[in-house]
Amino acid sequence: MRPVSHGRHTMLGAIIAAGCLLSGCSDGEINSSNLNTTRSGANTPSANIKLTLIEDNAEAQRFLAKATFGPTMEDIDALSRRDASEWIRQQFTVKPSPYLPRILSLEAAGENIDYRKHSGLIWEDMITRDDQLRQRMTFALSQMIVVSDKEMYGYTPQYAYYLDTLQAHAFGNYRDLLEEITYAPAMAKYLTYFRNLKEDPTTGRMPDENYARELLQLFTIGLVELNMDGTPKLANGREIETFSNDDIQGLARVFTGITLKGVDFWKGDDDGTYSRMVTSAEWHSPGEKAFLGTVIPANTGPDETLTHALDTIFAHPNLAPFVSKQLIQRFTASDPDPAYVERVATAFETGLFTAPSGIQFGTGERGDLKATLSAILLDQSVHVENGEAPSGDGKVREPILKFVNTLRAFNASPVSADSEYWLDDTSGGFDSLAQHPMRSHSVFNFYRPGFIAPGTESGDAGKTAPEFQIVHTGTVVGYLNFSGHYIFDISPTRDQTENLIPDYRDEIALAETPAELVARLDLLLTGNTLTESARAEVVSTIESIPLRDGFEDDDRERRVQVGVFLITSSSAFAVQK
Amino acid sequence: MTKFNRRNFLKAGSSAGFLAGTGALGALTSGQAFAADTSGYKAMVAIFLKGGMDHADTVLPYDQSSYSLLRSARGNLFNSYAAQGNSRERSGMLALSPLNSNNLNGQQFALPPEMPGMKSMFDDGELAILGNVGPLIEPINRTTLAEKTAIAPPRLFSHNDQQSSWMALATEGEKIGWAGRFADIIAASDSSLDPTFLSISAGANDVFLSGSDVYPFATTPYGAPSIEIVRDKKWLGHNQSMDEARSNIEAYLRSGSFSETNIYERDFTNLVQAAIEKNRAFNTAIESSLSMTSAFPNSGLGKQLEAVAAAINIRSSLSTNRQIFYVTMGGFDTHNNQTSTLPAKHTEISEAISSFRTAMINIGAWNDVTLFTMSDFGRTTIDNGDGTDHGWGAHHFIAGGAVDGQKIYGDIPPADLSSDVFTEHRGRLIPTTSVEQYAATLGSWFGLEESELGRALPNLENFSNKNIGFLAGNNA
């Protein structure tokens, strides 16, 4: 039996207040004394410094849509008139809830540990946990440093260890993350360097090149040299490739002789050991390893070799813009402006970001993810001040974000994902979400960061929109139908188990005043970004549902469900601004 | 040899890769008169094998000399197979008897025992094999590659870029696929043709089918999804007092009134509207046609080919004489465990295509449908212990009633890794036939004229043979 979270909205609110106490601020309208001075009359610094004060409820919603899996009305109220940087600082202090101990205790309780278990926990954490920023960051990292769980059947504890590695380093340093991921059994299996053998001159056998290539191409530096703003460097009008196949063959030798701890290298099959892997000098390539302009001398020990290799890759000037741009795409902008990328990459590079409130994030070490993430969320192009429109085009939200947002907004409970069999696999495009958490088709994620949608206005304008790669005539309707089953509480398990039931009490109270109902839903779900005409259409559609004698309760609920369905179908909900 | 595109390539550089930028092709259909032959019905069905299928473990050498060469180049794999049985022993494989054996330098070939359906189609003259095809800008070999006297395609060995190179003749980021270009030309050639269902995907939303003017539709074996809240009365209740709300909801979803200033919002709204309209039209056609009775295997590829068959079954209702279908199958990136994973993939391919053939024969469409395979790349001839790594050229299948089958086209070089057709390291095949030659042969059968093929396939002119001849009546 899984613990069920009731009333998490109040918990999140309480934690914000607690963070405020720790930082010594007053619990007034504005929660930072630092902020008070910068906002007061004559001492106001130059007018072009934008503060990150959350002005009102709509702005609070829009900030939380970027930084969490979607807010409740209580979350919105709690953040309004507070400072976003303070919220981020508080979120950085919330400890992660590791997966592995939970998986092992389920196993100890006699439960069958299969992929449904870790997948169920992922859903539950996204929907209920208070460490929402870490949840979003873990989800973002899982889309960059991909181990798809569809190839980890039978290895649930190892998969949990991978998730814990992402979670543990979500607010840490990218160099540490790279190292721990490299030694994670799930990654070694997924990218096939588990028991990767040194070259054998007699048979001609060569080391597996898989990890060497994808580590460079997807996790760290990419294929072409980049400027700090993420645009490609050009030489004589042409892009400059970062590595050749010779580099891959050299680097492939690095990732040899890596295996599970406490198990003979050649043991017939592994026993699912779920801890940091170890190296075997015997099976590690003794040869010289030349790549990216560095040479690791022959007969260097395996761990020293790995350190040297990861240091070399980490030092590459592409790292900051490459990682920063993709993280921006996962949080705030589908097609980030180069100047925005450069500001975030600078935070990554320097390991520091100072918020307009004066709060400083980061340790000062290159690769600091606190600095990087706060630079993303507090950037001047994203934060809306005094009703100004943000300068970018925003982010197309992926189906998982939209779906979990819908569940969270109405405190859907109880949350027991693994008894909700539709959530076992939401990869189907025509009848589901076209996306399942941590289950992309390949190491290339659900969509590519450079995807430009053909036949669209944004595509004609050359704007990237990765999330549009999984939007087509089938998935558009598939999403509405799938999500609608939860909005209307008619999922197939409805008659077997109480699960994920939305709490519409506050909305039902407004069912007889559709304009007020729609105003509430517009705030809660889109941060008041529905157009006038859309609002009017939703109101009139709700009004067309009669309140029949004897069925008033049903019909009031129906009005709310239809309102939620229509607004979560809208472009305002699909695109976060 | 004309070097028009070579010069443009050098000049334009950047990510354009094969293409001199997309500007010229973006305007492919505007202001051009096209006259592709759109008479009768014809369909192309592309199967993309994601991950890079190991060509050398799919079309195997059978004569003792070539067999021994391969076996010594990848002893680990053959030993692993041997431990499982005789599937990669000469005695266990399905030997082929090509009609053009006289032109094969004494080489013999076989399919793995998991592909009896493919073998029987080959024997019946309905399946051809095209050897060593891959992305090329111009002819190239080990020497000219090393000396850089011939242009190699960019970003070789990278999955996403080589998938894009196969589908769209340029690295990732290219927005228009070659099938999309064919569809644009077909649509521009015949104004009576409705392009809505010209391109159909039953798999991923990949660039292959995307045109400048024609965009792909997506379907399943059971038709396209419809809006359940409108269709299924249990959502709002069966009472007819809810009918007005149902029609208001549909009107809201179709109206597009909810987009204004944001470019992505406008795009999203248009995508929703188009989906609802197209799905409705497609489902209406399905409902008014006789259903198909053929059985398909319950596999990923089987289900997708069933969706294709269901769409071809209603071809007379869709107002288009030409269709291009796209399906995908994953799991071919066999860096490890190749001998335990690839054979099952072979079985899935063979069974699904065999079922598709039967379905097409049942509805009288087999002679009008050509199915063909593509993949990221082939793989290294030299193994890595229990798998193979990324390569370049590979062998592919073409099947259909119009195929001049039971023949092996292109080249399947023996595994003499010192030969000029392999890269210096690890025995990666350097293609001797380009993707564009492969596409041109299909396009010619599909009805495109030579000039149209030239516009859709910008490097075709760098190759003297523009029709490989695997489609009957189109021998160059």
CB B440, CB B460: distance < 8 Å: yes
> According to the model, what pLDDT value does residue A16 have?
42
pLDDT tens for A453-487 read 988 999 999 999 999 999 999 999 999 999 999 99
- What rounded mean pLDDT belongs to chain A? 89
Q: Minimal Cα–Cα distance from B410 to chain A, Å?
A: 26
* pLDDT beyond 60 at A11: no
A38-47, A296-305, A390-399, B284-293: range with lowest mean pLDDT: A38-47
Mean pLDDT in residue range B442-451: 97
The model's pTM:
0.90
Which residue among A197, A234, A575 sits closest to B268, beta carbon to beta carbon? A575
Residues of chain A contacting B184 with CB distance shorter than 8 Å: none
Q: What pLDDT is attached to residue A5? A: 40
Cβ contact A571–B269 (<8 Å): yes
Q: Answer whether residue A142 shows pLDDT above 60.
A: yes
Alpha carbon distance A286, A268 (integer Å): 24
Average pLDDT over every residue of A288-295? 98
- The rounded distance, in Å, linking the Cα atoms of A470 and A467 is 6
Does A539 score more than 90 pLDDT?
Answer: yes
Indicate the residue of A210, A463, A472 with minimum beta-carbon distance to B263.
A463
d(CA B380, CA B382): 5
Q: Does A454 touch chain B (CB under 8 A)?
A: yes
Calculate mean pLDDT across residues B382-387. 94
C-beta atoms of A448 and B160 within 8 A: yes
CB contact under 8 A, A454 and B11: no
Report CB contact under 8 Å: A569, B272: yes
Which residues are bridge partners to B20 per DSSP?
A: none
Q: A544 CB near a chain B CB, below 8 Å?
A: yes
Give which of B176, B219, B268 to mutate to test A binding, by max A Cβ within 10 Å: B268
User: Per this entry, what is the length of chain A?
Assistant: 577
Average pLDDT of B222-238?
Answer: 94
Report whether pLDDT(B11) > 60: no
CB within 8 Å of A467: residues ≥ 6 apart:
A334, A395, A396, A397, A398, A447
- Whether A265 contacts chain B with CB within 8 A: no
By Cβ distance, the residue of B176, B216, B390 closest to A209 is B390
Which residue does chain B place closest to A216, by CA atoms? Answer: B158
* Model pLDDT for residues A518-536, shown as the tens digit of each residue: 999 999 999 999 999 999 9
Spatial CA neighbour of B128 closest among B476, B473, B472:
B472
Check if the beta carbon of residue B316 is closer than 8 Å to that of residue B43: no
Strand partners, B43: B323, B369
Cα atoms found within 13 Å of the Cα of residue A187, Cβ hemisphere only: 28
Q: Is the pLDDT of residue A418 over 80?
A: no
pLDDT band at B30 (very low <50, low <70, confident <90, very high): low
* Nearest CB partner across the interface for B255, out of A478, A537, A544: A537
Report yes or no: A541 at the B interface, CB cutoff 8 Å: yes
Give, as one character, the DSSP assignment of residue B152. P
* pLDDT of B26 over the 80 cut: no
Q: Closest residue of B to A430, CA-based? A: B225
Cα(B351)–Cα(B329) distance, integer angstroms: 13
- B252–A538 C-beta distance less than 8 A: yes
Q: Of B158, B231, B258, which to mutate for an interface test with A (greatest number of A Cβ within 10 Å)?
A: B258
Q: Band of the pLDDT at B28, cuts 50, 70, 90?
A: low
pLDDT at B1 over 50: no
Residue A10 has pLDDT above 60, yes or no: no
Q: Do B175 and A452 touch (CB under 8 A)?
A: yes
| pLDDT value, residue B16 | 33
Of B224, B241, B275, the CB nearest to A546: B241
Which residues in chain A have their CB less than 8 angstroms from residue B255's CB? 537
Q: Verify whether the Cβ–Cβ distance A571 to B333 is below 8 Å.
A: no
Structure tokens at B9: 């390539």
Split at pLDDT 50, 70, 90, the class of B293 is confident
Residue-wise pLDDT tens digits, A436-457: 999 999 999 999 999 999 889 9
* The pLDDT of residue A8: 41
Q: What's residue A387's pLDDT? A: 58
- Token pair 């925003």: residue: A394
Tell how many helices (H) and how many strands (E) occur in chain A.
25, 10
Q: Do A477 and B158 touch (CB under 8 A)?
A: no
Burial A432-462 (b: 16+ CB within 10 A, else e): bbbbbbbbbbbbbbbbbbbbbbbbbebbbee
pLDDT digits (tens, 9 = 90+) for B413-425: 999 999 999 999 8
Instruction: Tell me what pLDDT residue B9 has.
Output: 35
User: How high is the pLDDT of residue A228?
Assistant: 98
What confidence score (pLDDT) does residue B290 get? 85
With a cut of 90, say whether residue B257 has pLDDT above it. Answer: no
* B62 contact partners, CB below 8 Å, separation of at least 6: B90, B93, B95, B96, B108, B109, B110
Q: Which tokens go with A556?
A: 């009031």
* Residue B150 main-chain phi, psi, to 5 deg: -130, 150
User: Across A318-458, where does the E strand assignment appear?
Assistant: 353-354, 360-361, 395-396
Going by C-alpha positions, the residue among B373, B435, B426, B467 that lies closest to residue B138 is B435
ipTM: 0.91
Q: Cβ of A538 under 8 Å from any chain B Cβ?
A: yes
Per-residue confidence band for A59, with pLDDT thresholds at 50, 70 and 90: very high
Interface probe for A, chosen from B263, B327, B424 (most Cβ of A below 10 Å), is B263
pLDDT of B10: 34
Residue numbers in B near A480 (CB within 8 A):
227-229, 253
Question: What is the pLDDT averaged over residues B390-415?
Answer: 98
Asked if A442 and B227 come within 8 Å (Cβ–Cβ), the reply is no
**Residues 6+ away with beta carbon under 8 Å from A568:** A402, A406, A483, A487, A525
Q: How far apart are the C-alpha atoms of B153 and A452, rounded to whole Å?
A: 22
pLDDT at B32: 65
pLDDT at A235: 97
Mean pLDDT computed over A204-218: 94
Express each pLDDT in A325-358 by its tens digit.
Answer: 999 999 999 999 999 999 999 999 999 999 988 9
pLDDT of A54 reads 87
**Residue in the block written with tokens 């023949």:** B407
